[in-house]
Amino acid sequence: MPLSIGQQASLRRTISETDIVLFAGISGDTNPVHLDDLAAQDSPFGKRIAHGILSAGLISAVIGTRLPGPGTIYLNQTLAFRRPVYIGDTLTATVEVQALRPDKPIATLRTVVTNQAAEVVIEGEAIVRLPS
Amino acid sequence: MPLSIGQQASLRRTISETDIVLFAGISGDTNPVHLDDLAAQDSPFGKRIAHGILSAGLISAVIGTRLPGPGTIYLNQTLAFRRPVYIGDTLTATVEVQALRPDKPIATLRTVVTNQAAEVVIEGEAIVRLPS
Amino acid sequence: MPLSIGQQASLRRTISETDIVLFAGISGDTNPVHLDDLAAQDSPFGKRIAHGILSAGLISAVIGTRLPGPGTIYLNQTLAFRRPVYIGDTLTATVEVQALRPDKPIATLRTVVTNQAAEVVIEGEAIVRLPS
Amino acid sequence: MPLSIGQQASLRRTISETDIVLFAGISGDTNPVHLDDLAAQDSPFGKRIAHGILSAGLISAVIGTRLPGPGTIYLNQTLAFRRPVYIGDTLTATVEVQALRPDKPIATLRTVVTNQAAEVVIEGEAIVRLPS
């Protein structure tokens, strides 16, 4: 079934301390604001926050499993980090088809992550090659 | 010590199957090209590849631990995924200061990830608020 | 959309050493046949095998994400472990609707896990309460 | 020392959010009732629950490490999921020898998992080949 402009899909997930610890381990991003309660208390955020790229993973999950889904090839992603994500926040990543190239199987997707208060935490755009 | 244009820092790391399995778990991105040998053999890549956002985590690690380092706040990241990353590839993420706002503690960084063959796998740009 | 008898869904995944190490950690099942190369060489299997309950997790994944999907409540599962699963095996879990209670939202599902050689590694039956 | 009818062994463990996040990752079972606080609040359980198969892992741990212990081969397991398991619950899995085949090294085990309130959360039966 071909994609159409405006088509949407979402995934929702609660961010746990486990996610942050594991992401720190596999990325090597051990910035104290993610792992050190005392440093985080002295930061502008007041408590530990999730890595921005970890939250961006939920966009990747929608693209890779829902829309366009398995077989999609990621070409480009822009990410504007608008607000911090705290342990226990429940994030929704939403992907919406914005443009489809007439000549090639390439789509532009609007990608937004919001928290449980419906505040935008990340927004941006992805360009993907569609599965054949 | 204030940052200067052209200043650089890097981190290097071998991507393991464990990294991919854990990233799939914490992101929910279970796209078969990352987790299913048979699907990956039938894909354009011929074998399983790492999630693009996982490789981008190495950029986050340089920014959060080296340059500008702890206390940096991530505002923006663009990611162009140029080549696939396979299990066992050794990636180097390099961050270079490209511009510094005269009025605010905000820097633009060029961010590049290369593999062991010195091929670019990701390139892009980050905008960050510098630690005070 | 109501379920119908004979309806099927599947998921496929390659079993990694990471999966086994993590499952040993979260279950506490440190049986040497899963974690100790030397013990495994002396076992009837000749090399390390995955935990049977780990492979059964792939059935849970189909039930919880595909058929019947989110909201399903697991009531019962029988598991006959037919063959060992080795590191690197690619498993397919298939769930098929076998019976639907006329009076209650309860379904009986046939659940089979096969390997890349199409050999049955687990077979059994699940009973689930359908999402409302 | 040969097994005797009525012989028992147990293991106890507190179920953490980490266990659930890791099991979701290695199984692919990302059913929102396990990972999404908001969906879980709207479910019959009111909050996030552990995967049934994760709790069954504790039975596997008793069988693989205590009774009958290392070298046991799992042939069969039935699981009736009686009550939900919440984050922070402390589970006890108990295995009791119920029957021993006179002709073959095969035992039938009664397998029960209870919570800190002594409520049964899983009950069932295992059939195993005894270590030689």
Distance from CA of B5 to the nearest CA of A (A): 23
CATH code at C114?
3.10.129.10
User: Is the Cβ pair D18, A16 closer than 8 Å?
Assistant: yes
User: Residue C15 gets which letter from DSSP?
Assistant: -
Q: Indicate whether C35 belongs to any domain.
A: yes
Q: Which residues of chain A, if any, have pLDDT below 70?
A: 1
User: Is the Cβ pair C80, D76 closer than 8 Å?
Assistant: yes
Amino acid letter for position C43: S
State how far the Cα of C29 lies from the Cα of B58, in Å rounded to an integer.
33
Which chains touch A (3+ CB pairs under 8 A)? Answer: B, D
Asked if pLDDT for residue B2 goes beyond 90, the answer is: no
User: Is the Cβ pair B28, A58 closer than 8 Å?
Assistant: yes
Indicate the pLDDT class of residue B1, thresholds 50, 70 and 90: low
User: Is the Cβ pair C52, D74 closer than 8 Å?
Assistant: yes
Question: Which residues of chain B are within 8 Å of residue A56 when distances are taken between CB atoms?
Answer: 53, 56
* Residue from the list B18, B22, B35 with its beta carbon closest to the beta carbon of C14: B35
State how far the Cα of C10 lies from the Cα of A48, in Å rounded to an integer.
39
Which chains touch B (3+ CB pairs under 8 A)? Answer: A, C, D
State how far the Cα of D96 lies from the Cα of D62, in Å rounded to an integer.
10
State how far the Cα of A65 lies from the Cα of D100, in Å rounded to an integer.
47
Average pLDDT over residues B44-62: 97
User: Is the Cβ pair C90, B18 closer than 8 Å?
Assistant: no
Assigned token pair, A80: 């504007």
Chain C residues with CB-CB distance to B under 8 A?
Answer: 12-14, 16-19, 22, 88, 90, 116
Asked if pLDDT for residue B127 goes beyond 90, the answer is: yes
Q: Which residues of chain D, if any, have pLDDT below 70?
A: 1
Q: Which residues contact A90 (CB under 8 A, 6 or more apart)?
A: A12, A13, A14, A15, A115, A116, D36, D37, D38
* Strand order across the beta sheet in which C8-14 lies: C8-14, C90-100, C106-114, C120-129, C73-81, D73-81, D120-129, D106-114, D90-100, D8-14
Residue C2, pLDDT score: 82
State how far the Cα of C108 lies from the Cα of C125, in Å rounded to an integer.
7
Question: Which residues of chain D are within 8 Å of residue C18 when distances are taken between CB atoms?
Answer: 26
Q: Indicate whether C2 belongs to any domain.
A: no
Q: Indicate whether C42 belongs to any domain.
A: yes
Number of B–D residue contacts, CB under 8 Å: 18
Question: How many domains does one find in chain C?
Answer: 1
* Residue from the list D23, D32, D78 with its beta carbon closest to the beta carbon of C70: D32
Expressed as residue numbers, the domain containing A103 is: 8-129
In the numeric block, the tokens 């290369």 are attached to B114
Instruction: Residue B31: name the closest of B52, B57, B4 by CA.
Output: B52
State how far the Cα of C9 lies from the Cα of C112, in Å rounded to an integer.
11
* Residue from the list C12, C17, C22 with its beta carbon closest to the beta carbon of B36: C12
Asked if pLDDT for residue C9 goes beyond 80, the answer is: yes
Distance from CA of C100 to the nearest CA of B (A): 30
Indicate the pLDDT class of residue B132, thresholds 50, 70 and 90: confident
Number of A–B residue contacts, CB under 8 Å: 132
Assigned token pair, C49: 């095998």
CB atoms within 10 A of CB D66: 16
Distance from CA of B38 to the nearest CA of C (A): 7
Residue A49, pLDDT score: 98
State how far the Cα of C78 lies from the Cα of C85, in Å rounded to an integer.
18
Q: Indicate whether D47 belongs to any domain.
A: yes
Per-residue model confidence as pLDDT tens digits over C86-122: 999 999 999 999 999 999 999 999 999 999 999 999 9
User: Is the Cβ pair C13, B36 closer than 8 Å?
Assistant: yes
Asked if pLDDT for residue C80 goes beyond 80, the answer is: yes
Average pLDDT over residues C7-28: 97
List C-alpha distances in Å: B17 to A26, B50, B69, B118, C88.
11, 8, 28, 21, 11
Q: Indicate whether A1 belongs to any domain.
A: no
What is the value of pTM for the model shown? 0.95
Q: Indicate whether A62 belongs to any domain.
A: yes
CB atoms within 10 A of CB A101: 12
Distance from CA of B39 to the nearest CA of D (A): 16
Q: Which residues contact D120 (CB under 8 A, 6 or more apart)?
A: D82, D83, D112, D113, D114
CB atoms within 10 A of CB B84: 20
Q: pLDDT: is B131 or A49 the higher one?
A: A49
Give which of B17, B19, B20, B22 to mutate to test D binding, by max D Cβ within 10 Å.
Answer: B22
Q: Indicate whether D2 belongs to any domain.
A: no
Q: Indicate whether C98 belongs to any domain.
A: yes
Report yes or no: D93 and D61 within 8 Å, Cβ to Cβ.
Answer: yes
User: Is the Cβ pair A81, B80 closer than 8 Å?
Assistant: no
User: Residue C86 gets which letter from DSSP?
Assistant: B
Q: Which residues contact D101 (CB under 8 A, 6 or more apart)?
A: D107
Residues C32-43 as b or e (16 or more Cβ within 10 Å = b): bbbeeeeebeeb
Report yes or no: B16 and B34 within 8 Å, Cβ to Cβ.
Answer: no
Amino acid letter for position D3: L
Amino acid letter for position B104: K
Give which of C90, C114, C116 to mutate to test B binding, by max B Cβ within 10 Å.
Answer: C90
Question: Which residues of chain D are within 8 Å of residue A18 when distances are taken between CB atoms?
Answer: 17-18, 21-22
User: Residue C49 gets which letter from DSSP?
Assistant: B
Question: Which residues of chain B are within 8 Å of residue C60 when distances are taken between CB atoms?
Answer: none
Indicate the pLDDT class of residue C132, thresholds 50, 70 and 90: confident
Burial class (CB in 10 A: 0-12, 13-18, 19+), B118: exposed
Residue C111, pLDDT score: 98
* Residue from the list B65, B76, B81 with its beta carbon closest to the beta carbon of A80: B76
User: Is the Cβ pair C13, B35 closer than 8 Å?
Assistant: yes
